[in-house]
Amino acid sequence: MPAKPVIPGSLFDFLMDLERHNHRTWFHENKQRHEDELRGPALAFIEGFAPALAKISPHFLADARKVGGSLFRIHRDVRFSKDKRPYKTHTGIQFRHEQGKDAHCPGYYVHLSPQECFLGVGIWRPEKDTLAAIRNGIDRDPAGWKKAARGKRFTDMFSLAGDSLKKAPKGWSVDHPLIEDLRRKDFIAVAPLEPEAVIDPGFAADLSKRMKVATPLMKWLCDSLGVPF
């Protein structure tokens, strides 16, 4: 019987040290720590969580590949940033839809850092056609959208988050009854997690329960995009 997927406390220890020593020399000297305390355990968690994810939806992937899978790389893209620190001081895991190629598709996202942990669900920064499909879906099915995004069980755990346009998007009236939702650039919701709960042996089961609570929103988004949930 496979072991239960667990996030070890050493993952947070490594991230705290990395935050204090965020430069290439230190990271090179601690590459084995990164492998043993962060990447290895995170990939094992992803692999071990696959059966629970399949019960939520068979169309989202727990991909334990070292490159190109569910685990985001620790290296920062500093090309267009004033912050030139080379490494992220958090771990990101995304269980994305099988038809998605990157982070900008429907998915479940687990953010782990010593300062903040949370579960995110939905679509972050959808591309133009995807964004249009979601907005048209809200206009076409306002009751379904409100039930998915504002249901009591959902809002008791999750809060809608992300950025919005300052004005009504092109082609939409400022008087639309759901203009605040149509202005969204991100269709995501977030549930905070306590670091102590993340390293608890029961975290995988708790994460699965939280993901199930988000099913109405995730199914609505998938339906609006014409992909299976």
At residue 3, the pLDDT reads: 60
In a domain, 69, yes or no: yes
In a domain, 103, yes or no: yes
Helices (H), 69-127: none
Return the CATH number at 20.
3.30.930.20
Taking only the tens place, the pLDDT of each residue in 74-125 is 999 888 888 899 999 999 999 999 998 776 889 999 999 999 999 999 999 9
In a domain, 139, yes or no: yes
The residues facing 92 across adjacent strands are 111
Type of residue numbered 209: K
Per the prediction, the chain carries an average pLDDT of 95
Number of structural domains found in the chain? 1
Confidence of residue 1 (pLDDT cuts 50, 70, 90): very low
Dihedral (Cα; 68, 74, 79, 85), 10-degree rounding: 180
Residue with tokens 């920064």: 125
In a domain, 184, yes or no: yes
Question: pTM value?
Answer: 0.94
By residue range, what is the domain housing residue 149? 9-225
Return the axis-axis angle of helices 128-140 and 142-150, rounded to nearest 10°: 100
Classify residue 41 by burial, with Cβ atoms within 10 Å: 0-12, 13-18, 19+: buried
Taking only the tens place, the pLDDT of each residue in 45-78 is 999 999 999 999 999 999 999 999 999 999 998 8
In a domain, 107, yes or no: yes
What distance in Å separates the CA atoms of residue 7 and residue 20, rounded to the nearest whole number? 22
CB neighbours of residue 128 within 10 Å? 7
In a domain, 1, yes or no: no
In a domain, 134, yes or no: yes
Q: In 3-state terms, what secondary structure has residue 79?
A: coil
